[in-house]
Amino acid sequence: MVSRSEQRFIRINLITIIVTLLVILAGGIVRSTGSGMGCPDWPKCFDRYIPPTNVSQLPADYKEKYVAGRIKKNEKFAKYLESIGKVALADSIRNDKSITLPEEFNPTKTWVEYLNRLMGVLAGIFLLLTAIYSFTYKKTAKRIIVLSILNILVVGYQGWLGSIVVSTNLLQWVVTVHMLLALVILAISIYTYNYAKQLNKAPSVIMYRILWLKGFLLFTVLLSIAQIVLGTEVREAIDVIAKSFGYENKANWITNVGSVFSYHRDLAILVIISNGIVYKMVIDRFSGKAAPLLTARFILITLLIQLLSGLALAYIAFPPAAQALHILFSTLLFSLQFYLYLLVYRTSTYKQ
């Protein structure tokens, strides 16, 4: 019997997962519209809680002011990197001249980035509520409490890293780490959601062998993470090429990316094949309205949209809507795969 307080935790946790996905969508819109530097400071935007709508609302020396602020923050970041042995990386940040280039004020980009930050705040609020309500399980499942609090700490680090993303003028590897941390936050939320739902249920038992499915599904999850990392690197390469082309001639961007795009494309084929195998293995073992089977079907739908958005990016000159959808559905694919793994992990083979 699930108590009312447990139902409340499960409901809040699910909302947290949805809001986190919306934050990633908002981040995708920021990336696709080139609005990452729409707010040159953090956590405020042009030192205001409500961003400006006109350049007349900015101080005369705003460019110099925010460049100086970025350089100061980057020096602190460089010293932190040196303290953990990353001396060469610290020097590369200090010598990166692009960080000293000011961004022109664009009210549309400013508000796109600002709304992205508001979504981040909303996700933080729900993560905090999840942590508070997790104390429902202080006697039955302390790991839910520990993981929910850990997620708050990860979000705090993610917020700090977000400020570094801004101060380093979207430094490539920092953006990649920022994306990976978003996956960590999602994975923790999905794990606590599933654990709370399954806490009062007996593990599933089926007549077929399940070990191969567990192993291959884990491989598929790791494959999707690798694909997301490669996709982030492709996007970072595109950003560099777009600047060099003056953001013109979009049709020629892909041809100048290099081998990383080929790796990303080839790995996509492997992702499609592996998910197809997972689906076949799931339908061979589950039937009716079993949660693993329903989740596997959602994975196929997500994979199809992900494939179509990827084709649009590669062959229709990077439409912004496709960029945002591609980021969202790659993350959603990972989320569904991880959730399916958790469901299958609790399943065992019947033994006479």
The pLDDT, as a whole number, for residue 128 is: 95
Contacts 24+ apart (CB under 8 A), 157-164: 157/181, 158/182, 158/185, 159/43, 159/120, 159/124, 162/42, 162/120, 163/42, 163/43, 163/73, 164/73, 164/77
CB–CB of 227/267 below 8 Å? yes
| CA–CA distance, 42 with 99 (Å, rounded to integer) | 15
- pLDDT given at position 274: 94
Total-model pTM = 0.86
Other CB atoms within 10 A of residue 6 CB: 20
Stated as kind and residue range, the H or E segment containing 104 is none
Domain positions in the chain: 1-201, 203-352
In this structure, are residues 122 and 19 in contact, taking their beta carbons and an 8 Å threshold? yes
How confident is the model over 175-216, as pLDDT tens digits?
788 888 999 999 999 999 999 998 887 777 666 677 888 889
> What is the spatial distance between Cα 209 and Cα 70, in angstroms, rounded to a whole number?
56
Token pair listed for 244: 């060099």
Q: CA nearest 330: which of 241, 255, 230?
A: 230
d(CA 281, CA 283): 6
Give me the tens of pLDDT residue by residue for the chain, a chain 352 residues long: 778 999 999 999 999 999 999 998 988 888 777 777 788 777 788 888 888 888 888 877 877 877 787 788 778 888 888 888 878 878 877 887 777 777 778 888 899 989 988 898 899 999 999 999 999 999 889 999 999 999 999 998 888 877 777 666 666 677 788 888 999 999 999 999 999 998 887 777 666 677 888 889 999 999 999 999 888 888 777 777 776 776 677 767 777 777 888 888 889 999 999 999 999 988 888 877 788 899 999 999 999 999 888 888 777 766 777 888 888 999 999 999 999 999 988 776 666 5
> What CA–CA distance (Å, rounded) separates 76 from 53?
31
pLDDT, residue 187, reads: 96
Query: What is the model's pLDDT at position 207?
Result: 60
Quote the tokens at residue 74.
Answer: 């980057």
Residue located via tokens 């990336």:
31
Alpha-helix residue ranges (DSSP H) falling in the chain: 4-33, 62-83, 87-94, 107-133, 142-167, 172-198, 211-244, 259-285, 291-315, 320-345
Tell the CATH topology of 203-352: Four Helix Bundle (Hemerythrin (Met), subunit A) (1.20.120)
The tokens of 160 are what?
Answer: 């700090």
| β-bridge pairing 205-206 and 348-349 | parallel
- Give every CB contact of residue 336 below 8 A, 6+ residues apart in sequence: 295, 298, 299, 302
The pLDDT, as a whole number, for residue 171 is 64
Identify which of 337, 299, 324, 349 has the alpha carbon closest to the alpha carbon of residue 116. Answer: 324
Residue 64: predicted pLDDT: 80
pLDDT digits (tens, 9 = 90+) for 267-279: 999 999 999 999 9
> Burial letters for 241-272: b for 16+ Cβ neighbours within 10 Å, e otherwise?
bbeeeeeeeeeebbeebeeebeebeebbeebe
* Cβ(333)–Cβ(303) below 8 Å: yes
